[in-house]
Each structure stands twice: as C-alpha cells, then as structure tokens.
Structure 1
Amino acid sequence: MSDPGPAEYVRPKDIDNRATFWQRVQWRLETIAWDVIYWAPMKALGPDKASDFGGWLVKKIGPHLSQQKTMRRNLRLAFPDWTDAQIEETALAAWESVGRTAGEMPHLPAIDPYTGGRVEIVGLDVLDRIRDSGKGAVFVSGHFANWEIMPAAITKRIPSAVMTYRALNNPHIDKRIADLRAAYGTQVNAPKGIGTRELMRALSRGAPVALMNDQKFNEGIPVSFFGHEAMTAPGPTRMALKYKVPIVPVATVRTGPARFRIEFHEPFIPEDTGHPEADIRRSVERISAFIEAQVRAYPGQWFWQHRRWPKEAWKAAGIA
C-alpha cells in the first residue's frame, strides 16, 4: 500500500450552508479569540507547562459549567457505591484531563509517538501485524486522556490508515485543527456524517480504519455499559464483518504532563454465525466491555461530560 500523501481537508457542507450571516461573524470572532487568547499563549509555554496550566485552569472553571451536573449524574450511575467525595474527586480529575488535552493541542507535533520519549507504546507487534497483513482492520477506542495521540501512533506506522473525526461548527478552527493533525502525522481523516464511504473504500483496498466507539449514538443498539443500557454505534462491527477484518481495541493512558502510554490490545474477529443481529450485538457488547474496563481502570481520564446514558437511566436509578 502506498503513502496517501498530503491530507485533503474535507468538511460536511451542510454545517456551513445553514449558517446565518451573524453566525459567520461569530465564527470569525471565535477564531480571533482562538488564535490570540488560546493558541499563542499555550504555544509559548511549551508542552509540559501548557499541559499543567490547561489542567489547572479547566479544573477551576469546569465545576461551574452546566456539564458538571451531567458528570455527577454519570458518575453516580456508573459507580453507585461511591461517596460524594469520590464523585467530586473524579469529576475534578476529568476536568483536569480535558484541560491538559487542550493545553497539549498546540504541541502535538512535539509529542511524537515514536521519538522524544513522551509516548510509550504497548503492543506494537499488534500494529505491525496489521500493517504486514495488508488486509486492513478496524481500530476502536474511546475518549481516554488525550485522544489525539492514538491516531498518530497508527498512521505513522501505517500511513494508509483512515481516521474519523467530528467536524467543528466553526470552519476556520476546524481547518486549523485539520492542518495540525496533518502536521502531526494523521494524514487521512474522514469526517463523521460523510466519511463512511471513505472508511469502506479504505477497508476494500486493505487499509485499516479507526473510530471512537464510546459516545451515545441514537441510531445504535442498546448494550450494557456499567450495568445500564446505552445506545452504541454498531458501525465498527458492521464494517469488520463486511470486510472480514479484525477489530483492534486501543487505549490511551496519561502518565504525566504531555506523556502517555498507548496500548494496542489483541485483535479479535467478530463471530459470523449467519445470524447478523446476534453477531453484531455480541461484538458491540465486547467493545463496550473493553471501554468500560478502561474507564474503571482510569476513571479520571475519561470524557464524563458527555451524556452517555439516556435520562431514563438516571431516573430509574433515582439520580436527580
């Protein structure tokens, strides 16, 4: 397989087409703030200090945001035996993790997975087996620690790999992040909503793809997550079954400021018994169990701000 070359910036057109004049003005103002208030100061600090400062700042601000209530509800649902102190401690750690990720963003090119000693890779042989097979694979992961690190570990080893991402509403900031990812080594990106064809094309030519599989997907299937049903995307499993390729679970763990461990777990082939619905459910449950195990191991490093479960789950558990 050949190197895909420079990344092409692709963006869902519907986001921009429905924007009003004042929305476009707001985007410009947001971009100026991004460049002047956020990017330039963080860039000047260096990776370690930017990580520390971002973590400190968001840890102070986060508890006052509306997402704090969502986090507490999620944590109480996931860990019903925890004390209020444990809930608050983990919520603060999760805010700090988000802040560190933001502080580290301008320094991604300096956090190279294979040089500089900032990233340890466990299971590199798994990655190399996928590369050498020439048959592709579906890498699945979640929003652990700094989730921008894992894609580069894959694409720098397998340049043909295709990553998915969620396009930001602001096209100017979205382009800046796309350029940063390209500079970091994540060359081929398929935006959610229009990227499915790109993923299927990649798998058909023997290139691996990578997706996050830990957030709510309303059109998904309900599977157990911390003992409560959560709507989960079956897409990664469907693709693995269609193209007869393995699923590779991946986790990222923060080990210090701008320092990480990426763990490539042993691949598995989804069962294909001739009963598609049951086969897909078993695989999605297996992925969900992997995500849950990683969250339990490092609860302060997961993105709890997302409303992973439906409101009905909170109500059923008596969580206000």
Structure 2
Amino acid sequence: MSLDNPSLGKRLGWRLEALAYDCVTFILRLFPFACISWLGGKIVGLIGPMTSKHRIAKRGLQIAFPDKSPAEIKALLKAQWNNTGRTLAEFPMMHRVKPYEGNRVTIEGLEIFKTNAPAIIVTGHFANWEVMATVLTQSGLPVRITYRKINNPYIDARVRRQREAYGTKFLVQKSTHKGGRELLEALKNGESVALLNDQKFNTGLAIPFFGQDAMTAQGATRLALKTGRPLLPMAVTRQDANFTVRFYEPINLMNSGDRDADVLNGVKQVTQFIENRIQEAPAQWFWVHRRWPKNLYK
C-alpha cells in the first residue's frame, strides 16, 4: 500500500503517532527551555544505546576516527546521544528561541550573510540545526529552507506549523523537480535558500568523507554555478542549551567551462567544510544517519 493511498490501519497508526506527539509536546511546554533540553539529553542518553541506531552511530564514529581508542569512541557515543536527545526535546520549543534577543544564541559573521544575500546557504546536521533556521528566518532577509517531508502527514503538518511559529514560512520539499524550480525562482526574486548538504544522496557524487567515499548531493553547488550567487557555509555548535551560529566566507567555486569538473570541485569543498566542523565538535553531528555505503556498517 503506497503512502498516497494508505490503508485504514496505516491511517490509524499515523493518528496514534500524532496523538503521542501532541501529548509529549504539551508536557514539554510546561517547562523552561533549558530544563527541557537537559531532560531530553538525559532520557535519550539512557534509551539511545539500547536502540539499533547505536550501532550505526558507533560504526560511523569508528569510520571517521579510526585512531580513537574504544574508550574515546564510547565517550563520543555518550555525548552524541546527549546532543541528539537535547535536539529532539528542544524542537517543539523552538518558537521560544529568539536569536536576536537575549543571550541564548550568539551569532558570528552575520555581516557575511547580509553582504552576500541572496545566497545559497549550505550546512549540516550540527548540534540543533533548527537554531540556524531561526537565525536565518528572523534576520529580516527573505530565506527559503528545504526540508524532507515526514511520512506521517499529521506529524508533518504539525512540524510545518511549529517551524512557521518561529518564522520559517518558505519551506521547499527536498529532492523534487518542483522544489528545484522554487529555489531558482526564489534566488531570482532576491531570496536566499538554505540546504542541508551532509546526508547520503544515492544519486549524488562519490566524494571522500573522512577518507571514505560517500554519495553526496550536488544540488547546492549546481544552483550556485547556474545562478552565480554565493555558496555560503554556515554551522552551529552548542554549549548545553546555548548556541553559537557562525557564517563563513563563501566557497570559492571554479568556473572553468567544464561544468562537471566545477561541480565536483564545489561538492568536494562543501564536504570538506562539513568534515572540518565535525572534527571541531565530533559529538554534535547526527551520527545515527548511515552516511557511508552499507558495506562499511557490517
């Protein structure tokens, strides 16, 4: 049964999942943001190691850091579950995050974004990546942010509303022809676009990532070369429930006339940026994603 024509049982399951999501969200909203973040880290820190995702995270860390000892890998695993738990718990509360007010979010290099807009912003699943969305959408400059639709349509609708509550109104579904056209139109209209460029993309390019080839999306680089707009890297790190968001200087793309070679060069630079940020804060990346080919996880 396809997702476009779900069975009665599938629809019922979706509604039960949405009800559970609503209940958890309601409870979380009774507490301060920092408390919710701490609690999420503790709960997922206990549950995460008992799930199948633990092996994926462990193997990913071993691939990326082959010289680290078992004790160091164990410590990173514990810390990344804490980060993952904090991020999951913080998400329903992101409407409380006001990056341009108070001291929860420190922004570095904002002038780089403002002087290069409209830009193609590339980043990854660092710390709580939704914090970067709040910085972009509350900057006063128009930005469209790509997203991957959640299979459960009821939860997907809730997530979209939550993102809109903190300013993200221009969402574009990833990996669709319609989404690609929307991004082009946005740039033509003076809007920046933001893409996460660090997950496995089966029809992408095989790019070295921590010394092992990983299939990597090329859309952001192609978009920058096609439009001539800057390819602007961005990242976030956390310190407990506080964050530092940083904009980096645009990636220097080649324009040799050989489009395939230029795209390859750009995707390699984006991938190196992602790798560098992970090396700076290894526990704050989304390790539960199977980034490399399946045979490396055996």
The one-letter amino acid of 1:263's match is: R
Hey, what does 1:210 align to over in structure 2? 194
Hey, what does 2:20 align to over in structure 1? 33
Which of 116, 120, 126 is the equivalent residue of 2:102? 116
Q: TM-score, normalised by structure 2?
A: 0.96
Hey, what does 1:5 align to over in structure 2? none
- Partners of 2:28 and 2:2 in 1: CA distance: 28
Map 1:141-156 → 2, pairs under 5 A: 141-156=123-138
Q: TM-score, normalised by structure 1?
A: 0.89
1:22 aligns with 2:6: no
Q: Deviations over 1:22-61 (max 9, x none)?
A: 111001111111111x111111122011000000000000
Q: Deviations over 1:118-141 (max 9, x none)?
A: 10000011121124xxxx210000
- Partners of 1:89 and 1:15 in 2: CA distance: 41
The one-letter amino acid of 2:196's match is: M
Larger mean CA deviation between 53-62 and 193-202 belongs to 193-202
Give the alignment's Cα RMSD to 1 decimal: 1.5
Hey, what does 1:197 align to over in structure 2? 181
- Partners of 1:200 and 1:313 in 2: CA distance: 36
The one-letter amino acid of 1:23's match is: K
Runs of 4+ in structure 1 deviating by more than 4 angstroms, as ranges, are none
- What 5-or-longer segments of structure 2 have no aligned partner? none
TM-aligned CA deviation for residue 79 of structure 1: 0.6
8 A contact 1:245–1:269 mirrored in 2: no
Hey, what does 2:59 align to over in structure 1? 73
8 A contact 2:97–2:134 mirrored in 1: no
Return closer, same or farther for 1:240/1:15 CA change in 2, 3 Å cut-off: farther
- Partners of 1:106 and 1:46 in 2: CA distance: 12
- Partners of 1:203 and 1:21 in 2: CA distance: 42
1:271 aligns with 2:254: yes
The one-letter amino acid of 1:253's match is: T
TM-aligned CA deviation for residue 186 of structure 1: 1.2
Q: Deviations over 1:257-308 (max 9, x none)?
A: 2x10001001134211001111111110001000000001101100000000
- Partners of 1:197 and 1:296 in 2: CA distance: 34
Map 1:42-191 → 2, pairs under 5 A: 42-131=28-117, 136-191=118-173
- What 5-or-longer segments of structure 1 have no aligned partner? 1-13, 315-319
% identity of equivalent residues = 41
SS of 1:290's equivalent in the other structure is helix
8 A contact 2:77–2:283 mirrored in 1: yes
Map 1:235-274 → 2, pairs under 5 A: 235-257=219-241, 259-274=242-257
TM-aligned CA deviation for residue 158 of structure 1: 4.3
The one-letter amino acid of 1:297's match is: E
The one-letter amino acid of 1:309's match is: W
Aligned length: 296
Return closer, same or farther for 1:155/1:15 CA change in 2, 3 Å cut-off: farther
Q: Deviations over 1:173-224 (max 9, x none)?
A: 1111111111101121001244222111111222110000000000000111
The one-letter amino acid of 1:118's match is: R
Larger mean CA deviation between 230-239 and 19-28 belongs to 19-28
Q: Deviations over 1:90-134 (max 9, x none)?
A: 111111111101111122121111112110000011121124xxx
- Partners of 1:158 and 1:247 in 2: CA distance: 20
1:280 aligns with 2:263: yes
- Partners of 1:295 and 1:168 in 2: CA distance: 26
SS of 2:172's equivalent in the other structure is strand
Map 1:2-13 → 2, pairs under 5 A: none
SS of 2:203's equivalent in the other structure is coil
Larger mean CA deviation between 86-95 and 281-290 belongs to 86-95
